[in-house]
């Protein structure tokens, strides 16, 4: 079983749509969680950290369910510029980040 699993997509949505990505992780010792964004042929960049209480940053909302070992990312009012691959990332104490394979989003006009 892979440590971090994501639906690869692609998710094809029109501008203005709401889209949700899900991610599951296998190691219950995971302690910190992130979503990174990677544009085509570019390096990944941190989109947001995911905290136990859930957190929001503008149009982006991240949720964590430790009991189900599940992380989600919700994007509201999608923009063309949101087209990218979204990487779910988890970390245990003292270890390097563990990346999922990513979910590809394509927003069209």
Partner 1 sequence: DGGITQSPKYLFRKEGQNVTLSCEQNLNHDAMYWYRQDPGQGLRLIYYSQIVNDFQKGDIAEGYSVSREKKESFPLTVTSAQKNPTAFYLCASSIGDRVLYNEQFFGPGTRLTVL
Q: Report the interface residues with partner 1, using CB under 8 A.
A: 4, 8, 31-32, 34, 41-46, 49, 87, 91, 93-97, 99-102
Nearest approach, Cβ of residue 9 and partner 1 (Å)? 11
Q: Which is nearer to partner 1, 57 or 77 (CB)?
A: 57
- In terms of Cβ atoms closer than 10 Å to its own Cβ (0-12, 13-18, 19+), residue 28 is exposed
Q: Which is nearer to partner 1, 67 or 96 (CB)?
A: 96
Nearest approach, Cβ of residue 87 and partner 1 (Å)? 7
> What are the tokens at 87?
């990487």
Nearest approach, Cβ of residue 109 and partner 1 (Å)? 26
Q: Which is nearer to partner 1, 78 or 85 (CB)?
A: 85
Helix, strand, coil percentages in the chain from 3-state DSSP, rounded to 5: 5, 55, 45
CA dihedral 63, 17, 38, 94 (to 10 degrees): 0
């Amino acid at each position: 079983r892979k440590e971090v699993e994501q639906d690869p997509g692609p998710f094809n949505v029109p501008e203005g749509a709401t889209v949700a990505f899900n991610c599951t992780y296998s190691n219950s010792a995971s302690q910190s969680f992130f979503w990174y964004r990677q544009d085509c042929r570019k390096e990944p960049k941190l989109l947001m950290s995911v905290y136990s209480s859930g957190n929001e940053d503008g149009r982006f909302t991240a949720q964590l369910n430790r009991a189900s070992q599940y992380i989600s990312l919700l994007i509201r009012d999608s923009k063309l510029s949101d087209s990218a691959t979204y990487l779910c990332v988890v970390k245990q104490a003292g270890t390097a980040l563990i990346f999922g394979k990513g979910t590809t989003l394509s927003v069209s006009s």
